Amino acid sequence: MNDFAVKPPGKITIREVAAAAGVSLQTVSRVINKGPNVSDKARRRVEEAVAALGYSPSIAARRMGGSKSYLLLALNDRDRTIETWQLREGTDWVDQMLLGGMLTCAEHGYRLIFELVDTHSDNIERELAGALAALRPDGVILTPPHSDNATIVRLLDKHGVPCARIGGWEGLGGSLIRMDDLEAAARTVEHLAGHGHRRVAFIAGDPEYRLSEERVAGYRAAVERLGLDRDPELLEQGDFGFESGAAATRRLLALDRPPTAIVASSDQMALAVLAVARERDLMVPDALSVVGFDDTPIARTSVPPLTAVSQPVSAMTACAARLLIEGSDSAALPHIINFELAVRASTGPAPRG
């Protein structure tokens, strides 16, 4: 039987717990955070007060221990994210990122803060330093292209803030989590070759992103390994956006020997392939097979539904959050998250003749 009076329902504060237990605020915070330097007697008094008062610690109370903030900061590219939101393109990259990160944080008593940062800004150091000072995060999740930005990684290291990078190059620092983009691109070519396609084209994504280079390498390796046409004109440059995909598709279809299948390094560019095919009265997949990357909602509702590489965005962000929370060794090998190829109606047998 304890000697604490139970307060009527309401907002219980850490100060009330400290007063009831007869200890300092810092002692209550250390007990809540399972920290050191607390006597058994004091710990027992705090635990009894917490139970009797029905206290639920806030992030601010937990931060009073001084060692942790119980916050993770996720950085996404400002320009591309805002452009996608404004265009209402139906992509769910950010949604999936928040899903994986927020659920994992919640499981461990953390919170995830989402910030947009311009990777090309001259003020990026000042902007990021301000965010770190205001939030004092326990770790930062970097998404492409920030995951390859050496300035950001160095700044975080300077401030002693660990980072987990999604889809970046090895050797830059922090923990690295990625999908095997090389293998994913190769899998799309293998799928099309299995349907008899010999002239398979590829529309690459923004070269600023490491994954774009990996996907091109996977495409080239698969074409060579499978003995398909190695025509350099079958490789076109895009930037992940619809307009770049449309322009690339028009160039590909204007070739003397156009491709019978096109792999686009984003769903938006794959939708552009479908649109240009309709302009030319080319039936998909009878006259042209199309594959996308990301497997966003639009891939499943397009006409016809897109065969697409399903990026494990949620799983990658969950892994990043878990590594930061658990303090896993950042020098470990990259954490490779499995992808899937969702086969739908946009791919079929190569046309005869």
What is d(CA 247, CA 238) in angstroms, rounded to the nearest whole number? 8
CA dist., res. 116 & res. 152, Å (int): 13
3-state DSSP of the chain: CCCCCCCCCCCCCHHHHHHHHCCCHHHHHHHHCCCCCCCHHHHHHHHHHHHHHCCCCCHHHHHCCCCCCCEEEEEEEHHHHHHHHHHCCCCCHHHHHHHHHHHHHHHCCCEEEEEEECCCCCCHHHHHHHHHHHHCCCEEEECCCHHHCHHHHHHHHHCCCCEEEECCCCCCCCEEEEECHHHHHHHHHHHHHCCCCCCEEEEECCCCCHHHHHHHHHHHHHHHHCCCCCCHHHEEECCCCHHHHHHHHHHHHCCCCCCCEEEECCHHHHHHHHHHHHHCCCCCCCCCEEEEEECCHHHHHCCCCCEEEECCHHHHHHHHHHHHHHCCCCCCCCEEECCEEECCCCCCCCCCC
Question: In whole angstroms, what separates CA 183 from the centre of its chain?
Answer: 18
Using the predicted structure, report yes or no on whether residue 1 has a pLDDT greater than 70: no
- Report the predicted TM-score, pTM, of the whole model to 2 decimal places: 0.78
Tokens standing for residue 317: 């962000």
- What does the pLDDT look like over 53-99, one tens digit per residue? 777 665 555 555 556 788 999 998 888 888 888 877 667 888 999 99
Report, as an integer, the average pLDDT of 148-177: 89
Strand arrangement of the beta sheet that strand 175-179 belongs to: 111-117, 71-77, 139-142, 163-166, 175-179, 335-337
Amino acid identity, position 92: D
d(CA 113, CA 101) in angstroms, rounded, equals: 10
pLDDT tens-place string over residues 31-57: 776 666 788 888 888 888 888 877 766
pLDDT tens per residue across span 176-196: 999 999 999 999 999 999 999
Return the pLDDT at 271.
Answer: 96
- Give pLDDT, residue 9: 45
Structure tokens at 320: 């990043």
Residue with tokens 């003749």: 353
The domains found in the chain, sorted by start residue, are 14-63 (1.10.260.40), 71-179+313-337 (3.40.50.2300), 181-311 (3.40.50.2300)
Nearest to 159 by CA among 148, 178, 144, 173: 173
Per-residue pLDDT band for 256 (boundaries 50, 70, 90) equals very high
Indicate the residue type of 234: L
With b for 16 or more beta-carbon neighbours within 10 A and e for fewer, the 65-98 pattern comes to: beebbbbbbbbbbbebbeebeeeebebbbbebbb
pLDDT in tens, 287-343: 999 999 999 888 999 999 999 999 999 999 999 999 999 887 655 678 999 999 999
Q: For residue range 97-152, what is the model confidence (pLDDT) as tens digits? A: 999 999 999 998 899 999 988 877 677 788 888 888 888 899 999 998 888 888 89
Distance CA 146, CA 49 (A): 45
Q: How far apart are the C-alpha atoms of 320 and 181, rounded to whole Å? A: 18
Sheet containing 289-294: order of strands: 235-237, 200-204, 261-264, 289-294, 307-310, 340-342
Q: Say how far apart CA 268 and CA 240 lie, in whole Å.
A: 7
**What are residue 294's DSSP bridge partners?**
310
- Would you call the peptide bond into 285 cis, given omega within 30 degrees of 0 as the criterion? yes
Structure tokens at 19: 């007063």
